[in-house]
Amino acid sequence: MPEMSQLNAARDLLTLLNATTTEPRPDTQLDALTLAVAADLPVLLWGEPGIGKTAALTQLAATLDLPLTSVIASVHEPSDFSGLPVIGADPATDGVPMAPPDWAVRLVRAGRGLLFLDELSTAPPAVQAALLRLVLERRIGALRLPDGVRIVAAANPRASAADGWELSPPLANRFVHLHWTHDHDVVVRGLGGTWPRATLPVLDPEKFAEAVTFARRAVCELLAARPLLVHRLPSGETQRGGAWPSPRSWEMTVRLVAFATASGVGREVLSLLVRGAVGDGPGFELLSSMDRMDLPDPETLLADPAAAELPERGDLRQAALDGVVAAVRKRPERARWDAAWALLVRAVETGPPDLVVVPATTLATLRRDDWVVPATIERLAGLVAVAQGAEVGR
């Protein structure tokens, strides 16, 4: 039949159009998503319609060889997530069990999979309430999803969602929020048939103990210094539907920092994840606090300036030098003052000289009248006005 022949030809053409390949390609968004999936934390992708959220999840499931189960939350009733009551032979004795939906049963039978909750921002409040137990406890009716199941959701901002709702604060606080945007080069190459390949982070077992210790210390030190960050519910309705700090989201952050440390992912990836768990402000504070944790001990630097290893990043190098000057101010001694100058000379020799201006000016003001200016200070004379600050003439 000619019509059937044309349908077969159309099928063959569609097969060719659907045939794509993947390639390793740096992608911060995708790396953040895969690390959160590896850490077994629910992830919520925010993005405008048509940005590629669903396609990214489909490709992620295929690459990780996880069966993909898509559920559009807005077209389901609350009972579809909390379970349908089924009357047994003797309800007075056995109670009324809550039967799970068929897709949950399939996930339990498979023992693994990627559960994709799509269009989350179009789910009404009653459905969002029913999702709380699923997202946090992995329970649907009488079933508990296996450990091999990961949960990822997608949502459009309320302004661009069809009959959209703001996410309820209890549901929002159960997710790591990632704002999904399109990369022009990725889209163009993908439409040409090649998309980035999603890969799980490579975890180094030898770093596990160190990673857990570091993650716990980083979060606990910040919260000890900033107790108001432990729980801070935003006042605005829109902000409450995003990432904000709570004991639950800080616990998620500890896990994310530990996984990032054990896998050695870049700072940009960690920044997306931390801010996606506790919000931009608290997230940036944690990242800054972690940077300070990595700074060398000022006393170690003063003990052997010639062998000192200063941070490469400019802001961290500046902080390390400021820490040395602060240590000298706290315990001013001639030998420590001289060592600090030697360290500033080394900083000029190994990095941008402008970073030395502020600490050198401050260090000069710490000079005692009976302290002779070290010869090394002349090596800085062309870069900073140290001689005038020290009020020394030679």
pLDDT in tens, the chain (394 residues): 566 788 889 999 999 998 888 888 888 999 999 999 999 999 999 988 888 788 888 888 888 889 999 999 888 888 888 877 777 666 666 667 778 888 999 999 999 999 999 989 888 889 999 899 899 889 888 889 999 999 999 998 866 655 668 899 999 999 999 999 888 888 898 888 888 888 888 999 999 999 999 999 999 999 998 999 999 999 988 899 999 999 999 999 999 999 999 999 999 999 999 999 999 999 999 998 998 887 888 999 999 988 888 988 888 888 889 989 999 999 999 999 999 999 998 888 888 888 888 898 899 889 888 888 887 776 676 655 543 444 444 4
Distance in angstroms (rounded) separating the CA atoms of residues 176 and 36: 8
Alpha carbons within 13 A on the beta-carbon side of 42: 25
Query: Cα–Cα distance between 138 and 224 in angstroms, integer?
Result: 32
**Which ranges in the chain belong to alpha helices (H)?**
2-18, 28-38, 53-63, 79-82, 91-94, 102-110, 125-137, 169-172, 184-191, 208-225, 237-240, 247-263, 267-278, 280-293, 298-303, 314-330, 334-350, 357-364, 386-390
Dist CA 340 CA 330 (whole Å): 13
Do the bridges between strand 68-72 and strand 194-196 make them parallel or antiparallel, or are there none, so unpaired? unpaired
- Contact status, residue 115 vs residue 143, Cβ threshold 8 Å: no
234-237: long-range pairs with CB below 8 Å, 24+: 234/279, 237/166
Structure tokens of 340? 């600090």
| Token pair recorded at residue 262 | 């054990």
> Side chain identity at 309, as an amino acid letter?
E
Tokens of 258: 């530990």
Rounded Cα gap, residues 389 and 227, in angstroms: 40
pTM: 0.79
Cα-trace Rg, the chain: 28
Q: Domains in the chain and their CATH numbers?
A: 12-196 (3.40.50.300), 205-290 (no CATH), 298-390 (no CATH)
Number of neighbouring beta carbons within 10 Å of residue 235: 7
Q: How far is CA 6 from the centre of its chain?
A: 50
Q: Three-state DSSP class for 176?
A: strand
Angle (CA) 217-220-222 rounded to 5° is 105
Quick one: CA dihedral 378, 319, 329, 296, positive or negative? negative
Contacts of 245 (CB under 8 A, 6+ apart): 229, 230, 231, 232, 278, 279, 282
Cα–Cα distance, 378 to 214 (Å, whole number): 41
- 230: phi > 0 → left, psi -120 to 50 → alpha, else beta; which? alpha
Q: Give phi and psi for 99, each to the nearest 5.
A: -80, 130
SS3 195: strand
Please answer whether residues 60 and 68 qualify as being in contact, where contact means their C-beta atoms are separated by less than 8 angstroms. no
What span, in angstroms and rounded, lies between the C-alpha atoms of 347 and 354? 10
Instruction: Determine the Cα–Cα distance for residues 77 and 79; give it in Å rounded to an integer.
Output: 5
Selection from 169, 154, 150, 176 nearest residue 257 by Cα? 176
